[in-house]
Structure 1
Amino acid sequence: MTNSTTAWDEPDGLAARGTVVVLTGRGETAGTYQRFGRRLAADAYRVRVVRADLDNLELARREVAALLADDTLPAPKVLAGSDTGATFAARLAGELPAVDGVVLAGPALPGSATVGSWDDELDARTACPTHRRVVSDDDGFVRGALARPVPSGWEVSDPAKPALVLHGSADPVTSPEAAFAPFRDAKTARLSLVAGAHHDVLNDVSHRSVAATVVLFLESLKLGSDLPAVVEHVQG
């Protein structure tokens, strides 16, 4: 049995600056991340999307490990994910030494709220009209997936790797406090609250600003694992 990986590469003439392996959340397909993947690729980061099916996580784990071991994909190599994909990314980052950092967007945790009807799920996921249309028109997207509880024992802990944690202030699935709690004391974690964003924070109304925040994190990671500042804001 094989999984399917979708890829976006840097434009011709540019040197690749790193690799981002995206793990899908509940119900999602690689198509969910077309906009995000293209945007990071435009900034010369190679993007690979791996389907992280809760019923076959070992398959996803093997595929992630293979991508991390692929010498044709440049470092730093970062795991990214949304919903249970974020939770799984944090778990893998603590297990796989080749992971240089993580981007966790709206992680789903044991006890996170479940959502019933498709209309309620769509509202919980995103307010972006384009992304609402993308997931609604995607034949592979599993409607009702947010009604599935997060597996017990899936609490997120700090993987001791540089981390960017992004969370929407209006996320009805997981509270920002719960998402940020494991990283409050981490020296190499950046916690970003996205104003008004829903659960699919990578694909909500502020997706441009969120993608820019991800790129800034990646650029900082290229300077060092202690995340030196690329841009410093000064007064006066």
Structure 2
Amino acid sequence: MSASFSWDEPEGLAARGTLIVLAGRGEHGGVYERFGRRLAFDAYRVRALGDPTDDPSVLDEAAKLLADESLPGPKVLVGSDTGARHAAHLAAERVPGLDALILAGLPTTPWTTGSWEEEAAARTACPTHQGRLTQDPDFRRGALAVTAELPDLRLDLVQVPVLALHGKDDEVSPVEEALSAYADHPGVHTVTFYNGRHDVLNDALHRTSAATVVLFLERLRLSPELPAIAEDQA
């Protein structure tokens, strides 16, 4: 079983919910440390798991976390890359305990990589995250070029709110293809990021993507209908 990574709310604050992250190709849960720490600072608990494509037991662990009554709700599955397809599959299967779904960098078509430098640049424009991946002995280079067997994307069966995040400069999963996959599903709220690349949660705009997630979570806490809580009057 792949390792799980945890980040909790600051001492003295009540937890506002739980996020369960499913990693993508080549990744492990620790790759999402920066995301986990930032969301934990806002009093959300984060549990980051590995890539279900490499280790199917990750899906069982995610289901156990969703059923764990000691973890505060709302409970949200966050999937990145192939993890997004697996997270959507769990939601379509109506796994108990799930309140919402966040899909980041949904994979669409196979991608052929060249050098590690090209893969790192396709993943993220953030030099800090590129350095993290380069120096991480547990990260698997070249995984983006592997054609993985993934579950069908059955968003029509998903009955919880969905937030989809995608980079406009994503070469691995072109934004037009991702938007097409979401087009017939009015329950999906899509946010695209200018100059954003594939690993949108760990990209140069990681603060903006985290803020987008927090806004979604705060609305979810009020109601599954996601009522507006702020309005731009400009």
TM-score range relative to shorter protein: over 0.9
Match in the other structure for 2:36: 37
Deviation at 1:156, TM superposition (A): 5.3
Match in the other structure for 1:123: 121
Question: Which amino acid letter does the alignment assign opposite residue 225 of structure 2?
Answer: D
**Kept after mapping to 1: 8 A contact 2:15/2:72:** yes
Match in the other structure for 2:194: 195
Deviation at 1:180, TM superposition (A): 2.4
Distance (whole Å) between structure 2 residues aligned to residue 94 and residue 169 of structure 1: 26
Match in the other structure for 1:23: 22
Q: Residue 107 of structure 1 aligns to a residue in which SS?
A: coil
Moved over 6 A (4+): none
Distance (whole Å) between structure 1 residues aligned to residue 83 and residue 33 of structure 2: 16
Match in the other structure for 1:205: 204
Deviation at 1:199, TM superposition (A): 0.4
Q: Residue 87 of structure 2 aligns to a residue in which SS?
A: helix
**Kept after mapping to 1: 8 A contact 2:26/2:51:** no
**Kept after mapping to 2: 8 A contact 1:108/1:173:** yes
**When the two structures are aligned, how many residues end up with a matched partner?**
232
Distance 1:127 1:24, change over 3 A: same
Deviation at 1:55, TM superposition (A): 3.3
Bigger Cα displacement from structure 2, 35-44 vs 182-191: 182-191
Q: Say whether residues 1:90 and 2:88 are aligned partners.
A: yes
**Kept after mapping to 2: 8 A contact 1:67/1:73:** yes
Distance (whole Å) between structure 2 residues aligned to residue 212 and residue 88 of structure 1: 24
Match in the other structure for 1:144: 142
Distance 1:162 1:105, change over 3 A: same
Question: Which amino acid letter does the alignment assign opposite residue 165 of structure 2?
Answer: L
Where do residues 45-56 of structure 1 align in structure 2 (5 Å cutoff)?
45-56=44-55
Distance (whole Å) between structure 2 residues aligned to residue 186 and residue 160 of structure 1: 11
Match in the other structure for 1:157: 155
Distance (whole Å) between structure 2 residues aligned to residue 38 and residue 54 of structure 1: 25
- What stretches of structure 1 of length at least 5 have no aligned partner? none
Bigger Cα displacement from structure 2, 47-56 vs 161-170: 47-56
Question: Which amino acid letter does the alignment assign opposite residue 105 of structure 2?
Answer: G
Match in the other structure for 2:225: 226
Deviation at 1:124, TM superposition (A): 0.6
Deviation at 1:86, TM superposition (A): 1.1
Q: Residue 6 of structure 2 aligns to a residue in which SS?
A: strand
- Cα RMSD, aligned residues only: 1.5
- What stretches of structure 2 of length at least 5 have no aligned partner? none
Bigger Cα displacement from structure 2, 146-155 vs 215-224: 146-155
Distance (whole Å) between structure 2 residues aligned to residue 157 and residue 113 of structure 1: 23
Q: Deviations over 1:32-55 (max 9, x none)?
A: 101000000000000001112413
Distance (whole Å) between structure 1 residues aligned to residue 130 and residue 223 of structure 2: 37
